[in-house]
Structure 1
Amino acid sequence: MKKLAVLVIHGIEVDDPGLYDTALRLLRQHFGEHAPSAPGNALVVETVSWASVVEGAERDFLARQSPPEAEDYWKSLYDGVRAVNKGRESALVPLMLRMMRPSLRGMDLRYPGLRWLIVHFVGDIIAYQSNPADPDVYTDIHRKVAEALGRLRARAGDDAPLCVISHSLGSVIASNYFYDLQARRLDGRDIIESSVLAAQGDSPLERGETLSRFYTLGTPMALWSLRYRNSALDRPVQVPAPELEQHHPGLGGEWLNFHDDDDVFAWPLQPLSDAYHDLVEDRAVSLKGPLFSWTPLVHPFYWSDDSVMGPIGESLAEAWEQLGAVEPGPPVAA
């Protein structure tokens, strides 16, 4: 039976077991609306939860800077972020009030909540940057991606079309990961760390050969161009993958980039270069909500908004229907 393999990658986050609950519910709901004949297992979804790679070091950093009794305060901030992750815009109000607390008993530094935010969110970005002298975080996160792709292969099949949904920093991780795979396959460049290579399977799906759809949500990827001022940005990750036509002739693919104009972290990608202009479809959306939809605080809510998850569900439904139309049928007996 035809299946789509869907990989979901979060962005700047705390470790949250329920992070994807709302997103996956909306994804399946909208997919079902546009593909009512699809069976329940038409979408095979695996998530990449990589926050645990850096959270231990971030907790240790805070512990060295604060008294032991601060732990209850830190816990209240973790709980507040997890409430926001459920798509509850109102949960931002108590979280912001707690973060704006100006002092904490036993801690000399002011505004401990905002410092917690910097450590956990800016810290994720700093920790992820590739460092040849100490590549542990970068490679540990990429190993998480490789392991999730292995789980996808086991459930969806060796050559199932691959669709990637990524938010914020997760879109940078996804782009880097599949770019590295393509550079190795197509150009023979040895740029993948050995432990990541060891975690990668050899199926077409795990090699990224079946990459068909790429959805980026609230991505800061455009800012990464500042690291390459003297390089032409003419080699974005190719979507669909060049080999997709061999595995699924006629299926094709697309890269949809969703950005809310009020989200200062999110940028269109087409202005980066002619290559991005030709490859990416930038889609401006207006994330809904009664409290913060008109402010930069909309950034966490792409996952829980119908204006984003609806088009993604529709796009996946079109891919699933098209997959059935282009897949060869059983051989006819002579």
Structure 2
Amino acid sequence: MQTRNVSSSGPGAKKLAVLIIHGIEVDDPGLFETAVRLLRKHFAEHGGASPDALAVETVNWASVLEGAEKDLLARYGPADTDAYWKSLYDNVRTVNQGHESALVPLMLRLMRPSLRGMDLHYPGLRWMLVHFVGDIIAYQTNPADPDVYTSIHRKVAEALGRLRAQAGDDAPLCVIAHSLGSVIASNYFYDLQVQRFAGRDIIEETVRAAQGSSPLERGETLSHFYTLGSPMALWSLRYPRAELDQPVCVPAPELTRHHPRLVGRWINFYDDDDVFAWPLQPLSEAYRAAVEDRAVRVAGPLFSWTPLVHPFYWSDDGVMRDIGASLAGAWKQLSSAPPVAA
């Protein structure tokens, strides 16, 4: 059993715990640099607090699939294609920093019709399918072999452990998740809630072993959920005969016990031009009550009017300003509340 971290609950030391989860991606260690910088900046502007009041951890789960995806490509291409694959990685990583112009050379490379030594045409588009559509296919729950699903969820559990070490055992938990990451986050915390409230042990053993026992790691302090460009509506197709009346509870029901004055919310950001992104309220009355859909215009002079806006939520100043302002409001509520007795 972990000991209670009391240092985070002293005057002036309270923190918000922010967990960031990416969507379909290549393995990119610098993916969140722009997002975290903008988030801290806008949080400080709206909250009058130090950016250090945000404890931030990221879930870089693309590494789970990177090896298998590279192996698959290697079966179909000669060894000297490495430079071509690397150029695609480098372009995507530049796009991830918010450089919209990097889409132009990326698209030109993706549309290359052939590659010496590779029989299949359009190798770049195949690379993209392996890395992006492949993520979606691999993540689906497979009871016979749940390795990818559980490996990704272990990454989430491990990040929550690091976050607890930064912010304290009962710090309010705020989750920001993009694209497929919003599905991963919803599944992860839904599984925790089913385990707690329905008594159904649906969490795989190795994931459970990686989960800590603090309120934060158990999801009891989940207060804010920000979904960006979420395709969660498409996942309803997996359950065509089921009534979608049980979205993940945001805020978590136990939040009032830990932080009685904190008002939680779920905001779903979507750009009308982003074909991956869907409002969630039309799914059911339960989603209508749980989620605030917020239409945004992801900025950019070149491709803001096209479906290519999908990667740019992380680097969009307007989106990060809205989230930073929301977190600042939560921090003010937290700072003004008297400490809860242990």
**The TM-score by the shorter chain falls in which range?**
over 0.9
What residue number does 1:294 align with?
A: 305
Gaps of 5+ in 1: none
Match of 2:320 among 309, 320, 325: 309
Correspondence list, 1:21-32, <5 A: 21-32=33-44
Match of 2:59 among 48, 51, 74: 48
Q: Give, in whole Å, the separation in 2 of the partners of 1:175 and 1:198.
A: 20
Match of 2:26 among 1, 4, 14: 14
Letter in 1 for 2:14: K
Q: Give, in whole Å, the separation in 2 of the partners of 1:327 and 1:77.
A: 52
**For 2:294, what is the secondary structure of its paired residue?**
strand
**For 1:241, what is the secondary structure of its paired residue?**
coil
Correspondence list, 1:237-248, <5 A: 237-248=248-259
Could you list the per-position Cα deviations for residues 276-308 of structure 1 after superposition, in whole angstroms to 9, with x for gaps in the alignment? Answer: 000100000011111100000000000011221
How far is the alpha carbon of 1:329 from its aligned partner? 8.5
Correspondence list, 1:183-222, <5 A: 183-222=194-233
Correspondence list, 1:1-334, <5 A: 1-36=13-48, 38-328=49-339
**For 1:41, what is the secondary structure of its paired residue?**
helix
Q: Is the 8 A contact 1:248 1:327 kept in 2?
A: no
Letter in 1 for 2:285: D
**Matched residues, percent identical?**
76
How far is the alpha carbon of 1:326 from its aligned partner? 2.0
Could you list the per-position Cα deviations for residues 37-64 of structure 1 after superposition, in whole angstroms to 9, with x for gaps in the alignment? Answer: x134200000000000001000000000
Letter in 1 for 2:172: P
Q: Give, in whole Å, the separation in 1 of the partners of 2:215 and 2:149.
A: 23
Q: Give, in whole Å, the separation in 2 of the partners of 1:22 and 1:196.
A: 30
Q: Give, in whole Å, the separation in 2 of the partners of 1:44 and 1:328.
A: 19
**For 1:28, what is the secondary structure of its paired residue?**
helix
Letter in 2 for 1:328: P
Question: Cα distance 1:329–1:172, how it changes in 2: closer, same or farther (>3 A)?
Answer: closer
Q: Give, in whole Å, the separation in 2 of the partners of 1:311 and 1:326.
A: 23
Alignment RMSD, CA only?
A: 0.9
Q: Is the 8 A contact 2:258 2:340 kept in 1?
A: no
Q: Give, in whole Å, the separation in 2 of the partners of 1:154 and 1:28.
A: 19
Question: Cα distance 1:280–1:329, how it changes in 2: closer, same or farther (>3 A)?
Answer: closer
Gaps of 5+ in 2: 1-12
Q: Give, in whole Å, the separation in 2 of the partners of 1:44 and 1:147.
A: 15
How far is the alpha carbon of 1:324 from its aligned partner? 1.3
Q: Is the 8 A contact 2:59 2:159 kept in 1?
A: yes
How far is the alpha carbon of 1:194 from its aligned partner? 0.2
- Aligned pairs, how many? 329
Q: Is the 8 A contact 1:167 1:217 kept in 2?
A: yes
Q: Give, in whole Å, the separation in 2 of the partners of 1:5 and 1:329.
A: 17
Could you list the per-position Cα deviations for residues 245-278 of structure 1 after superposition, in whole angstroms to 9, with x for gaps in the alignment? Answer: 0000121200000000000000000000000000
Q: Give, in whole Å, the separation in 2 of the partners of 1:103 and 1:275.
A: 49
Letter in 1 for 2:45: E
Q: Is the 8 A contact 2:43 2:51 kept in 1?
A: no
What residue number does 2:7 align with?
A: none
Q: Give, in whole Å, the separation in 1 of the partners of 2:208 and 2:52.
A: 29
Q: Structure 1 length normalisation: TM-score?
A: 0.97
